[in-house]
């Protein structure tokens, strides 16, 4: 009994459809690789951004109220320091929106607690990984 073997012969319809299939696969994988490379490059270059706002705490957020501290009047700086000492986390408030700060151990956070600052970092969702904090330049009148 003879076994039937499929053999592609040059110039036949079978060989042309097989070649087209291989070309389609090559193009598909080429495009896929390009997308992955470009996507990876954009993630690798998710450059830091800079925002203006205030370093605050997760307990008080955007507003520091004397009601939060047994009626004692405190500056924003004193309030932030007291709340963080009491277990709150540092946050950044910009245009009324409160952002979590990923790296709570960043050295300049306690230095600038309660200050209006220019904060530089990388944002993911509503969380910022801080890379730099600086006081805004003084305005000359």
The residue with greater pLDDT, 106 or 11, is 106
Does residue 130 have a pLDDT over 90? yes
Does residue 30 have a pLDDT over 80? no
pLDDT grade for 41, boundaries at 50, 70 and 90 = very low
* Domain range enclosing 18: 12-45
pLDDT tens per residue across span 74-119: 899 999 999 999 999 999 999 999 999 999 999 999 999 999 999 9
- CA 49/CA 71 separation, integer angstroms: 37
Q: Write down the residue that tokens 């299939």 correspond to.
A: 21
Q: What's the pTM value of the predicted model, to 2 decimals?
A: 0.65
Do 39 and 68 lie in a common domain? no
Do 107 and 38 lie in a common domain? no
Do 70 and 127 lie in a common domain? yes
Nearest to 115 by CA among 139, 141, 81: 81
In a domain, 1, yes or no: no
What's residue 124's pLDDT? 95
User: How many structural domains is the chain composed of?
Assistant: 2
Question: Diameter of the chain by CA atoms?
Answer: 102
């Amino acid at each position: 009994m003879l076994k039937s073997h499929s053999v592609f012969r040059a110039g036949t319809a079978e060989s042309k459809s097989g070649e087209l299939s291989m070309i389609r696969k090559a193009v598909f994988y080429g495009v896929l690789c390009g997308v992955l490379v470009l996507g990876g490059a954009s993630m690798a270059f998710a450059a830091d951004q800079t925002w203006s706002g205030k370093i605050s705490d997760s307990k008080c957020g955007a507003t520091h109220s004397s009601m939060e501290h047994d009626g004692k009047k405190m500056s924003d700086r004193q309030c932030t320091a007291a709340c963080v000492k009491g277990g709150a986390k540092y946050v950044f408030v910009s245009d009324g929106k409160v952002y979590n700060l990923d790296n709570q151990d960043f050295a300049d956070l306690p230095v600038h607690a309660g200050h209006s600052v220019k904060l530089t970092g990388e944002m993911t969702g509503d969380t910022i990984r801080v890379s730099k904090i600086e006081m805004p330049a003084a305005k000359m009148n």
